[in-house]
Structures are given as C-alpha cells and as structure tokens.
Amino acid sequence: MTKVSAKAFAAFLEERAAKKDGYIMGATGQAPGRLSSRWFSQYSGRQYEKALYWRAHAERVWDCNGLAEGYYADKTGKRVNVRARDNYAAWCGAKGRGLIPPERRVPGAAVFWGTSAAKITHVAFLTRPVDEARPEGDWHMVEARGVLYGVVNTRLLARRPSWWGWMDRYFEYGDPDEGATLTVTGSSVRLREGPGTSYAIADTVKKGARLVPAVPDSWTPVLRGGRCLWIKSDYVKPDTA
C-alpha cells in the first residue's frame, strides 16, 4: 500500500484554503468548469446559486473527504472514493470517540462529526497548532465545510468534533527521516498491541531495525506499517545521529 505524508497533506490543505477552493458534493479536486451540469443541479435555491459561483470562480472543488481522496490521487494516481464514515471505519487505525487527545494532535490528523461511528457525516483535518509552543492546545483545521462555505480554515476547539483518527491506511504520520528514531537492540523482539505481555503479539522485529517513538514509558509505542504498536523499552535505544 502506497502511503503519502500527512505533514505534506496538511500543508496542501492550507494552500487550498488560501486559494478559496469551492465545495461540490462528490468532488475530489476537479476544475469545476470541466464538470457537467449534473454536479451543480443537485442543489437548489441559494445553494444552487453558490454552486454556480464555485463553477465560475473556484480553481478546484471538493467535498469533505474528497480533500483526502483528491490529495492521495494527486500524489499516487490511485483513486479511493469513500464517505467520511468509511474513512473513520477503514482508513483509521488509531482512532476514538470525543475530542482528539493532545498526543494525537498532529498535522493531517482527521476529526469527524456524527452521532455514532456508523453515522459520521463530516470530516476535517488538523494542519498546525494555533500556538506552536503549545501543540497540546488548540489547532487550525481545514475543511470543505459545505456548498455555502467552500474550503475554509476553522479551529478545533471552536468546532469540537466528536470523533478522531489517524488515516494510517493511506497516510504516513511517523516518517523516520523527519525526527528521532529508535534502534532495536534485542536479536528478535516482539511488538505488541498494548503496553504489556498480556497483549497480543502483532509483529516481530530484528536487531538493528529502526522504529519511530511516540511517548516514553516502560513500553514504547512505535509506528510500524501504519499502526501504533508497543515494544519493551529495554530492547530499544534512542538514535543519536
């Protein structure tokens, strides 16, 4: 599975918001002037007028999950057409209910709205902290919010989404080249689903393998194959170079 950088995705989102891109349901970044009339006739009244505005003035148009789908297609040439609730269900390995935890607030993280996981109706994406010195605090987001809004900048704590996820099926959140890594020191060490030997074994790594750390503990969470797994801290050491 080809993955793309979540950090680069976040930068792309801010660029599209600055361009004042539009919203059309089902769109994944198309030039609106090239779309047939049926894309716009799905709306009526004031919404139809706004859809025609996007047709005349926007460089590209998207729907909420189309931002992620279109970026992935731009980078890989592969198209994945799903709804926001399918993103949460199938794209996100690390995920949960409620406001996204501070330690999961990273560029490109997805946040969702819905009364249940099966009834998620909308998604937005974190781009950067409001205060760079406090990444655990409020974050800027970009979302294709609806035909009346287009692609806009919003804020996490103002919008307060009810679900969150790392889209690690298609996006890479822990690039070893972008930060510190850990080197495996044991000859053959197990990666577990949680911080303890009672958790299921998910993978095995050999001596010398490099892993991306999350937070320090007696068990160290690492990213491998797009999943958050755990390795006994005794068997890894921080890389110094």
User: DSSP string covering 182-230, please?
Assistant: EEE-SSEEEEESSSSTTSPEEEEEETT-EEEE-S-SSEEEEEETTEEEE
The tokens 């007696």 sit on which residue? Answer: 218
Give the residue carrying structure tokens 């600055």. 18
pLDDT tens per residue across span 124-152: 999 999 998 899 999 999 999 999 999 99
- pLDDT for 226 equals 64
pLDDT, residue 212, reads: 65
Residue 169's alpha-carbon distances to 12, 39, 80, 87, in angstroms, are 19, 29, 11, 9
44-82: burial string, b at 16+ Cβ within 10 Å, e else:
eeebeebbeebbeebebbbbbbbbbbbbbbebeeeebee
Residue 209: pLDDT over 80: no
Q: Report the pLDDT value the prediction gives residue 116, as an integer from 0 to 100.
A: 97
Looking at residue 187, what is its pLDDT?
85
- Tell me how far apart the alpha carbons of residues 119 and 95 are, in angstroms, rounded to a whole number: 15
Residue 107, Cα to own-chain centre: how many angstroms?
A: 8
More confident residue, 230 or 152: 152
Q: Is the pLDDT of residue 176 over 50?
A: no
Q: pLDDT tens for residues 14-46?
A: 999 999 999 999 999 999 999 999 999 999 999
What is the model's pLDDT at position 233? 73
Helix (H, G, I), strand (E, B) or coil at 112: strand
32: which DSSP letter? G
Q: Is 60 exceeded by the pLDDT of residue 222? A: yes
Q: What is the pLDDT of residue 180?
A: 54
pLDDT at residue 119, as a whole number: 97
- When pLDDT is cut at 50, 70 and 90, the band that residue 191 belongs to is confident
Q: What is the percent of the chain with per-residue pLDDT over 70, rounded to a whole number?
A: 90
**Which residue has better confidence, 206 or 170?**
170
Q: Catalogue the long-range contacts made by 72-80 (C-beta closer than 8 Å, 24 or more residues apart).
A: 72/4, 72/170, 72/171, 73/28, 73/29, 74/29, 75/4, 76/2, 76/4, 78/2, 79/28, 80/170
